[in-house]
Amino acid sequence: MRVIDHFVAGGPVPEIARFADILDPNNGGIQAQVALGNAAVLDIAVAAASAAQPAWAATNPQRRARVMFRFKELIEANMDALAHMLSSEHGKVIADSKGDIQRGLEVVEFTCGLPHVMKGEFTQGAGPGIDVYSMRQPIGIGAGITPFNFPAMIPLWMGAVAVATGNAFILKPSERDPSVPNRLAELFLEAGLPAGIFQVVHGDKEMVDAILDHPAIGAVSFVGSSDIAHYVYNRGVAAGKRVQAMGGAKNHGIVMPDANLDQVVNDLCGAAFGSAGERCMALPVVVPVGHDTAERLRAKLIPAINALRVGISTDTEAHYGPVVTAVHKANIERWIQTCADEGGEIVIDGRGFTLQGHENGFFIGPTLIDHVTTDMDSYHNEIFGPVLQIVRAENFEEAVALPSKHQYGNGVTIFTRNGHAAREFAARVNVGMVGINVPIPVPVAYHSFGGWKRSAFGDTNQHGMEGVKFWTKVKTVTQRWPGGSVGDLANAFVIPTMG
């Protein structure tokens, strides 16, 4: 049986006692095992990070950027192999896996320019003979705790910025699909990153708690469910760490009466069902404004959804593949039933879907549910599967209120040809990321990613300048180089001013 070990100080860690199975979502079988670490394993990683980080931080920014350039080239050269590795453990189709890697690669590209954004500020003559300047310095040792649904993108969002700014970074990826994170660590070494700067430790809650409690780890970035994000944030902050914790989502797509419904249906099929709906930026709720809009949209959605192809992850004709585990499949199916019990109309039922030759795979067909209302638990909670709910709104004001009042505030989209309506919506909606005729409004790498409300805990977003701020701290220096006489001793006891 193949075993995925920790990647610590440039290699594996011996004498691991606990393991977890890595499943193949396409057939339900066990394809490998992953070592589950503990505080002792983390101590080894922290020791390696502590030994390597000072020299890495002292490396000039352009030399660090050259490592990032080489790392970028190696990811590109290994794109196909990484995508197949990712799909085999996650279940998403190869094209989607390449998209996963590419969105992470874009953050690596951003870090190649970090020598520019790491520059501080300078004021000459802030006072008589006094200059003031600031510098950004690394936190020291940071850690990332990442989910199963993006095993390349999210580790790269965190790790690339953390490393490029001079930190050592310890990654704890999901134990469900750990192979790609290990391979990224190998590619970092090949790119010239010193051993101990980017390490991977595997584990479950025991390892998460060890990271949150370790006194040498100064910052933790997390992505996962909102309940766990809240736990991670509170425990990490209580331990004196800087923490950003991204949680769940229930993103809405508002469809105005003037929207191009053919384009909307095409966008919804990709945004709601791509990657089997296992995205925090998926679009699982569509809000048509007005009865006529709802009926026209529903009529177009039904044939489009029925035409979607579900297949194994290597099927180049498939629109999406299986979900990640049997447990998650059962949970999605329970939510579908809950919505029906609450009064939702199941227009297309994806339960009971099987794929010939892969009957034990974790497949769910696309599901469409109409007449969902705001008092339903299935509306308030994240289903995280290939399920699209229709929540009808009578007017624009109601459409703005729906995502604004929801407990989650990750992303939202409005489909319209009316610039005034789009502008009003973007300004007023109480959500962190807004799309205008863009179904999945994930910002480009030089902007930042982050939601509001229970979708994010902490004050700093991921990647872009927000990521740079999270992984660094500002030091401000006020300097004077006096000449001539020492001056009046009495004035030395007065708080200095710059006037």
pLDDT score recorded for residue 285 = 98
pLDDT score recorded for residue 499 = 61
pLDDT band at 483 (very low <50, low <70, confident <90, very high): confident
Q: How far is Cα 429 from Cα 415, in angstroms, rounded to an integer?
A: 14
Q: Residues 450, 455, 457, CA angle at the centre, nearest 5°?
A: 80
Closest CA relative to residue 200, chosen from 151, 164, 138, 140: 151
Q: How far is Cα 248 from Cα 242, in angstroms, rounded to an integer?
A: 20
Strands (E), 327-451: 345-348, 367-370, 387-390, 408-409, 411-415, 433-436
Q: How far is Cα 180 from Cα 198, in angstroms, rounded to an integer?
A: 14
**214-232 average pLDDT score:** 97
Active-site residue list: 280
Q: Which fold has domain 3-247+456-477?
A: Aldehyde Dehydrogenase; Chain A, domain 1 (3.40.605)
End-to-end CA distance of the chain: 72
Q: Residues 254, 258, 260, CA angle at the centre, nearest 5°?
A: 80
Q: Does residue 220 sit in helix, strand or coil?
A: strand
pLDDT score recorded for residue 1 = 81
Which residue matches tokens 């991204």? 246
Q: Domain residue spans in the chain?
A: 3-247+456-477, 252-436
pLDDT score recorded for residue 12 = 74
pLDDT score recorded for residue 375 = 96
Average pLDDT, the chain: 95
Do 162 and 142 contact (CB within 8 A), yes or no? Answer: yes
What pTM does this model have? 0.94
Read off the DSSP letter of residue 277.
Answer: G
User: 61-77: per-residue pLDDT in tens?
Assistant: 999 999 999 999 999 99
User: 83-140: per-residue pLDDT in tens?
Assistant: 999 999 999 999 999 999 999 999 999 999 999 989 989 999 999 889 999 999 999 9
Q: Burial of 362 by CB count in 10 Å (0-12 exposed, 13-18 middle, 19+ buried)?
A: buried
- Residue 11 confidence (pLDDT) above 80: no
Alpha helices in 134-200 (DSSP H): 153-164, 179-191
User: 257-314: per-residue pLDDT in tens?
Assistant: 999 999 999 999 999 999 999 999 999 999 999 999 999 999 999 999 999 999 999 9
Domain 252-436 sits in CATH at: 3.40.309.10
User: 411-440: per-residue pLDDT in tens?
Assistant: 999 999 999 999 999 999 999 999 999 999
